[in-house]
């Protein structure tokens, strides 16, 4: 008699009955976090004029960023101790309350308070959603759900500025803040049924070293806020504030990242380092491209902005591709391919500094760089969960997002300093920043083989 093996249970899809509501709710929440982050930048000049608060303009961004840094660390500790449910709900409450406070603010100082509360909620939510992925989705779906998260960031980048402009023009800037809670609360309720299947770890108190991590997070948050404030200064004060901020980040950030991060130790430290390098490279180039194309090549602001849109679309395409190809034999394959694309893409954009190079060359280069980000980001997020042991998903997810955010903030500050040097930005400053960005991606390419532990 021949024995027959029972067929393996089919792997559920992201929209299978068990996961559908959680997928829709999680992607909607990520999209709302992305929209609010992008919309505030568009609306804030109008807000500052309306509330006569230009002096607090930088703090409105820096305060929210600092609160988010602290919240990421708190959320990671909380998720590992009790599971992601509580930090997700608390994050939603903080996020909504902050939006309401900002949207009803009578003066700029109150709006800054609302932004800080909102930023703290965003930090709690973003880490909790990563841990939910790790605990509620099978590993084979991790790259796909993170691809959906990437798309949830890309879509607001395409429509967010235009939509925000319409809201500010026809409804008033307050609705940029007040309209989001009406969608955020129902989106969170979609996630609620799936959270019942996610059990928290049996820890009776915070893990060892939690208080020290929170203290270092406060230092990193203050330093990050100073970076934003320094970017609003001019002359010697800008140099002093930016230098103090970077020194503070160099002191505090390594204490919040995995041991071995600075020397690119194999495994998780390199995974998180690659995410930071890629983010720094892409953001450093992204902030230069519209300025270069408009000042040196005569493109209108709209046309220069459309070049960035090409990169956003290709980012989404890269995320979709990496989520549907079979798992590579090596963990390094997708990160290395992504970093090669980023290096080549930014290097190609740098050629457009020369007047004789067609602008189309730069557009194609930026599309290649966006494709690389799409291949890289979701795959590194999935690797972070894969390399996390029991009770470590929260800490490691917060480290991944911290490295990403702090690297981008530091490069933005340094790029601003390069562009501000001299009387006006010129070809030399554009070429310098683009070359540095390409070099950062190249370093990541060389380190990519170290994502696998020995």
Q: With beta carbons less than 8 A apart as the criterion, state whether 324 and 143 touch.
A: no
- Reported as a single tens digit per residue, the pLDDT across 407-423 is 888 887 777 767 666 55
Q: End-to-end CA distance of the chain, in Å?
A: 45
Q: Quick one: which of 186, 146, 43 has its CA closest to 380? A: 146
The predicted pLDDT at position 1 comes to: 43
pLDDT category at 341 given cuts 50, 70, 90 is: very high
24-33, 293-302, 310-319, 323-332: segment of lowest average pLDDT: 293-302
Cβ 273 vs Cβ 406: under 8 Å: no
Mark 430-452 as b/e (b = at least 16 C-beta within 10 Å): bbbbbebbbebbbbbbebbebbe
pLDDT over threshold 80, residue 451:
yes
List of residues 6+ apart from 21 with CB closer than 8 A: 190, 191, 193, 194
The CATH number, out of the four listed (1.20.1250.20, 1.20.1300.10, 1.10.10.10, 1.10.340.30), of the domain defined by the range 260-414+422-454: 1.20.1250.20
- Please tell me the total number of residues recorded for the chain in this structure: 454
For the ranges 146-155, 302-311, 435-444, the maximum mean pLDDT occurs at 435-444
Question: What would the mean pLDDT of 318-332 be, rounded to a whole number?
Answer: 85
pLDDT tier, 7 (very low <50, low <70, confident <90, very high otherwise): very low
DSSP assigned state of 204: S
Give tens-digit pLDDT for 240-284. 888 888 888 889 888 888 888 888 899 899 999 999 999 999 988
Residues 137, 27: Cα–Cα separation, whole Å: 14
Confidence at residue 110, expressed as pLDDT on a 0 to 100 scale: 92
Q: Where are the domains of the chain?
A: 260-414+422-454
pLDDT at 391: 80
CA-to-CA dists, residue 247 to 58, 224, 243, 279, angstroms = 19, 11, 6, 20
Kindly give, in sequence order, each residue whose CB lies less than 8 Å from that of residue 229, ignoring residues fewer than 6 positions away: 58, 59, 62, 241
Residue 205 has what pLDDT? 61
Q: What sign for the dihedral angle of Cα 111, 112, 118, 121?
A: negative
User: In which band, very low, low, confident or very high, does the pLDDT at 378 lie, cut at 50, 70 and 90?
Assistant: very high
pLDDT score recorded for residue 201: 47
pLDDT score recorded for residue 12: 67
On the 0-12 / 13-18 / 19+ scale of CB atoms within 10 A, 280 is buried
pLDDT at residue number 136:
85
pLDDT of residue 253: 87
User: Measuring CA to CA, which residue among 415, 409, 420, 417 is closest to residue 437?
Assistant: 415
What per-residue confidence (pLDDT) applies to 71?
92
The span from the CA of 337 to the CA of 333, in Å, is 6
Average per-residue pLDDT for the chain: 84
Three-state SS letters, 141-194 = HHHHHHHHHHHHHHHHHHHHHHHHHHHHHHCCCHHHHHCCHHHHHHHHHHHHHH
Specify the pLDDT at position 198.
64
- In order of 306, 315, 412, the CA distances from 301 in angstroms are 9, 22, 20
Q: Give the confidence band of 97 by pLDDT, cuts at 50, 70, 90.
A: very high
pLDDT at 113 over 90: yes
Residue 387 DSSP label = T
Q: What is the pLDDT of residue 192?
A: 77
Concatenating the DSSP letter of every residue in 34-60 gives HHHHHHHHHHHHHHHHHTT-GGGHHHH
Strands (E), 228-334: none
Cα separation, 44 vs 121, in Å, equals 20
User: How many whole angstroms separate alpha carbon 43 and alpha carbon 237?
Assistant: 27
- Burial string for 111-121 (b: 16+ CB within 10 Å, else e) reads bbbbbbbbbbb
Among 131-135, 152-156, 382-386, 446-450, whose mean pLDDT is lowest? 152-156
- Contact by Cβ (8 Å): 451, 267: yes
Of the listed ranges 247-251, 296-300, 416-420, 446-450, the one predicted with least confidence: 416-420
CB-facing half-sphere around the CA of 214: CA atoms within 13 A? 11
Task: Give me the mean pLDDT over the 187-197 stretch.
Answer: 76
For the chain, percent of residues with pLDDT exceeding 90: 29
Neighbours of 17 (CB within 10 A): 8
What's the pLDDT band for 172 if we cut at 50, 70, 90? confident
Q: What is the CA radius of gyration of the chain?
A: 22
């Amino acid at each position: 008699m021949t024995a027959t093996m029972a067929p393996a249970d089919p792997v559920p899809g992201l929209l299978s009955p068990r996961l559908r509501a959680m997928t829709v709710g999680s992607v909607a929440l990520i999209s709302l976090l992305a929209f609010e982050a992008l919309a505030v930048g568009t609306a804030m000049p109008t807000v500052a004029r309306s509330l006569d608060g230009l002096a607090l303009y930088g703090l409105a961004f820096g305060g929210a960023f600092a609160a988010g840094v602290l919240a990421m660390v708190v959320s990671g500790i909380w998720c590992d101790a009790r599971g992601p449910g509580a930090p997700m709900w608390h994050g939603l409450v903080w996020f909504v309350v902050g939006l309401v406070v900002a949207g009803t603010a009578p003066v700029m100082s109150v709006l800054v308070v609302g932004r800080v509360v909102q930023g703290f909620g965003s930090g709690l939510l973003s880490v909790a959603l990563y841990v939910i992925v790790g605990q509620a989705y099978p590993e084979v779906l991790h790259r796909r759900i993170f691809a959906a998260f990437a798309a949830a960031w890309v879509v607001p980048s395409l429509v967010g500025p235009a939509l925000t402009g319409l809201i500010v023009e026809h409804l008033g800037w307050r609705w940029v803040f007040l309209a989001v809670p009406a969608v955020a609360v129902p989106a969170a309720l979609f996630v609620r049924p799936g959270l019942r299947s996610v059990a928290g770890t049996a820890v009776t108190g915070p893990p060892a070293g939690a208080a020290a991590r929170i203290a270092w997070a406060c230092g990193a948050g203050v330093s990050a806020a100073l970076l934003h404030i320094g970017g609003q200064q001019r002359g010697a004060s800008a140099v002093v504030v930016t230098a103090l901020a970077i020194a503070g980040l160099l002191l505090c950030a390594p204490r919040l990242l995995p041991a071995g991060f600075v020397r690119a130790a194999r495994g998780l430290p390199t995974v998180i380092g690659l995410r930071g390098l890629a983010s720094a490279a892409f953001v450093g180039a992204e902030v230069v491209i519209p300025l270069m194309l408009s000042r040196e090549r005569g493109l209108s602001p709209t046309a220069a902005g459309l070049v960035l849109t090409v990169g956003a679309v290709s980012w989404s395409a890269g995320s979709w591709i990496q989520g549907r190809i079979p798992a590579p034999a090596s963990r390094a394959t997708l990160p290395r391919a992504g970093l090669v694309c980023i290096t080549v893409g930014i290097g190609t954009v740098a050629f457009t500094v020369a007047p004789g190079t067609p602008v189309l060359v730069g557009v194609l280069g930026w599309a290649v760089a966006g494709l690389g980000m799409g291949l890289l980001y979701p795959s590194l997020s999935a690797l972070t969960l894969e390399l996390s042991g029991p009770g470590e998903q929260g800490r490691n997810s917060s480290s991944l997002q911290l490295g990403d955010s702090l690297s981008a903030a530091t490069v933005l500050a340094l790029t601003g300093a390069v562009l501000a040097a001299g009387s006006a930005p010129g070809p030399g400053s554009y070429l310098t920043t683009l070359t540095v960005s390409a070099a950062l991606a190249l370093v990541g390419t060389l380190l990519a083989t170290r994502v696998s532990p020995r």
